[in-house]
């Protein structure tokens, strides 16, 4: 049925960069055989999952939506893909993103612009826009995305889905093409909290191939979705309900919080004072790390190589000039700038100090509340092309999501209403490290 949906809508949605129909149907047939033989199957057996195209898949092109990796075929699977294979999942294909996951609308892809299935004239969000659009259009049942500063949660919000950015270290990053290593996490997107929780359970846990992955405390991978919210202490940071946030978004989140209150939660206003500086700190830290991570794309080891070069310097220059898109170049330049001697103290070091402060603020907040709730994004999905020339407006769209990555916390985006154009609105639930279960339970109560 997901391939029938692709036949019907994919030429307009454009979520996929690579469709794996043949191998998917063969895998589905294998699962059918096992079922017919009476075998007991794991929860994700036979479930069609789309994979963001910055997650390595053995033998299947992994482009990062960049010309520089247009023909890159990884010789190995990311750990998350291996774990899903163990469950006999069905991979439908690889889905679109902003080049190297840099962006918030999917418009930075070198190959195509993905549309929002709720309104084809609008963006699906980003960078995991293909992951969100594929599920929202019925072209996959679940998907994997990655989130460095909001890239799972914001597209989930724009496309009316549930999306989880896990605790830093909860999911292995092995095989995820690095953007900003101290912020990146892979996570699930789906139509319901239950679906997302199931996919999360399949991919989480310690992996010897990723030194930053954590052995999860037992409680971190078990939860009771029906547990309710009686006595749960919810904090609403007033800074996240300010001027920049559209009225219908605020109203929908407040309404959802009211419902949680009726279900027995306690609600209090709190303050996360560094919110004003968070976007600046995020773009300094993430670009610094990106400039270092992307140094490996030099025309020698992977992917595109500019033809007919004389000497190594020309090879580097032309490969990178021709292979990277404008936004990626902007981040590399910004990153090398803030790391250069003379500017390091003024920018990078100060951003790191802000990072400490943001972490401290969350720690204080979680001393007297269990879950912090904010809008996921200040607006609903905007029109394709509307923000393309306005970089700062684009970056400002990340205001609600970036502190979560900076502090390494888990956060879940759940649909909580529609605006006047019938576009989905998302609310963000943030918890202390490894509190994914609590977030699922709270969101399921609202659902």
Q: Is 103 in the site for ligand GLN (CB under 6 A)?
A: yes
Q: Is 151 in the site for ligand GLN (CB under 6 A)?
A: yes
Using CB under 6 A, which residues numbered 274 to 313 contact ligand GLN? 286
Q: Check residue 434 and give left, alpha or beta (phi > 0: left; psi -120 to 50: alpha).
A: left
Q: Is 150 in the site for ligand GLN (CB under 6 A)?
A: yes
Stretch that binds ligand GLN, among 149-157, 229-237, 309-317, 406-414 (CB under 6 A): 149-157
Which CB, 77 or 154, lies closer to ligand GLN? 154
- In the residue annotation, 151 being an active-site residue is answered as yes
- In the residue annotation, 340 being an active-site residue is answered as no
Contact residue for ligand GLN among 147, 361, 370, 436 (CB under 6 A):
147
Q: Which is the catalytic residue, given 52, 94, 165, 433?
A: 52
Which CB, 103 or 431, lies closer to ligand GLN? 103
Which CB, 104 or 415, lies closer to ligand GLN? 104
For ligand GLN, which residue has the nearest CB?
Answer: 151
Site string for ligand GLN, 382-401 (x = CB under 6 A): ----------------x---
- In the residue annotation, 433 being an active-site residue is answered as no
Give the 3-state secondary structure of 279-338: HHHHHHHHHHHHHHHHHHCCCCCCCCCCCCCCCHHHHHHHHHHHHCCHHHHHHHHHHHHH
Least distance to ligand GLN from the beta carbon of 435, Å? 20
Q: What is the DSSP string of 118-173?
A: TBTTB---SSSHHHHHHHHTTS-SEEEEEESSSTTHHHHHHHT-EEEEPPTTSB--
Q: Tell which residue, 380, 385, 361, 382, has the closest CA to residue 372.
A: 361
* 3 state DSSP class of 67: helix
Contact residue for ligand GLN among 69, 102, 252, 369 (CB under 6 A):
102
Contact residue for ligand GLN among 149, 160, 424, 431 (CB under 6 A):
149
Contact residue for ligand GLN among 74, 104, 163, 190 (CB under 6 A):
104
Least distance to ligand GLN from the beta carbon of 69, Å? 16
Q: Tell which residue, 189, 69, 61, has the closest CA to residue 137.
A: 189
Least distance to ligand GLN from the beta carbon of 270, Å? 24
Output Rg (C-alpha) for the chain, integer angstroms: 21
Least distance to ligand GLN from the beta carbon of 179, Å? 6
Which CB, 10 or 398, lies closer to ligand GLN? 398
Q: Is 127 in the site for ligand GLN (CB under 6 A)?
A: yes
As a whole number of angstroms, the distance between CA 94 and CA 51 comes to 5
Using CB under 6 A, which residues numbered 160 to 199 contact ligand GLN? 179
Which tokens in the block code for residue 179?
């953007």
* 3 state DSSP class of 68: helix
Q: Tell which residue, 288, 283, 247, 295, has the closest CA to residue 391.
A: 283
Q: Which is the catalytic residue, given 66, 105, 146, 151?
A: 151
Q: Which is the catalytic residue, given 105, 127, 213, 379?
A: 127
Which CB, 155 or 437, lies closer to ligand GLN? 155
Which CB, 118 or 331, lies closer to ligand GLN? 331
* 3 state DSSP class of 196: helix
Give Cα separations from 442 to 93, 257, 259, 368, 438 (angstroms): 32, 11, 11, 17, 6
Q: Is 54 in the site for ligand GLN (CB under 6 A)?
A: no
Stretch that binds ligand GLN, among 71-79, 141-149, 208-216, 299-307 (CB under 6 A): 141-149
- N-terminal to C-terminal alpha carbon distance within the chain: 26
Which tokens in the block code for residue 104?
């918030």
Q: Tell which residue, 130, 48, 69, has the closest CA to residue 94.
A: 130
Q: Tell which residue, 424, 392, 400, 47, has the closest CA to residue 256.
A: 424
Q: Do residues 262 and 349 make contact, with C-beta atoms less than 8 angstroms apart? A: no
Q: Is 432 in the site for ligand GLN (CB under 6 A)?
A: no
Stretch that binds ligand GLN, among 70-78, 100-108, 226-234, 438-446 (CB under 6 A): 100-108
Least distance to ligand GLN from the beta carbon of 150, Å? 5
Residue ranges in contact with ligand GLN by CB under 6 A: 101-104, 127, 147-151, 179, 286, 398
Q: What residues are annotated to the active site?
A: 52, 127, 151
């Amino acid at each position: 049925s997901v391939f029938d949906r692709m036949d019907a809508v994919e030429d307009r949605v454009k979520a996929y960069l690579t469709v794996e129909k043949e191998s998917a149907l063969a895998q589905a047939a294998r699962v059918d055989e096992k079922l017919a033989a009476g075998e007991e199957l794991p929860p994700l057996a036979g479930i069609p999952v789309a994979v963001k195209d910055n997650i390595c898949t053995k033998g299947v092109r992994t482009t990062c939506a960049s010309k520089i990796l247009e023909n890159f075929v990884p010789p190995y699977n990311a750990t998350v893909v291996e774990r899903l294979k163990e469950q006999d999942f069905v991979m439908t294909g690889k889905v679109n993103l902003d080049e190297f996951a840099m962006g918030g609308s999917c418009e930075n892809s070198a190959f195509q612009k993905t549309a929002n299935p709720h309104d084809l004239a609008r963006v699906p969000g980003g960078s995991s826009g293909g992951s969100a659009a594929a599920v929202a259009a019925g072209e996959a049942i679940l998907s994997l995305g990655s989130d460095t500063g909001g890239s799972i949660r914001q597209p989930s919000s724009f496309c009316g889905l549930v999306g989880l950015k896990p605790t830093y270290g909860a999911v292995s990053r092995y095989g995820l093409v690095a953007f900003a290593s101290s912020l990146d996490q892979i996570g699930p997107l789906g139509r319901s909290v239950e679906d997302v929780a199931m996919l999360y359970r399949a991919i989480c846990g310690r992996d010897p191939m990723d030194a930053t992955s954590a052995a999860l405390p037992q409680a971190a991978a078990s939860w009771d979705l029906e547990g309710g919210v009686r006595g749960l202490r919810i904090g609403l940071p007033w800074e996240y309900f300010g001027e920049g946030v559209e009225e219908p978004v605020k109203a929908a989140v407040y309404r959802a919080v009211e419902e949680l209150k009726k279900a027995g939660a306690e609600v209090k206003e709190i303050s996360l004072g560094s919110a004003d500086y968070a976007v600046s700190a995020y773009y300094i830290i993430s670009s610094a790390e990106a400039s270092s991570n992307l140094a490996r794309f030099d025309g020698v080891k992977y992917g595109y190589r500019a033809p007919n070069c004389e000497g190594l310097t020309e090879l580097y220059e032309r490969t990178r000039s021709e292979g990277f898109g404008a936004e990626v170049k902007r981040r590399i330049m910004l990153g090398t700038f803030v790391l250069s001697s003379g500017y390091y103290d003024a920018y990078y070091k100060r951003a790191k100090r802000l990072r400490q402060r943001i972490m401290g603020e969350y720690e204080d907040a979680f001393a007297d509340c269990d879950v912090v709730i904010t809008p996921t994004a200040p607006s609903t999905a905007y029109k394709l092309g509307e923000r393309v020339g306005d970089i700062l407006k684009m970056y400002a769209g990340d205001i609600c999501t970036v502190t979560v990555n900076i502090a390494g916390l888990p956060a879940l985006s759940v649909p909580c209403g529609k605006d006047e154009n019938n576009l989905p609105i998302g609310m963000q639930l943030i918890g202390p490290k490894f509190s994914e279960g609590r977030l699922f339970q709270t969101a399921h109560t609202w659902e």
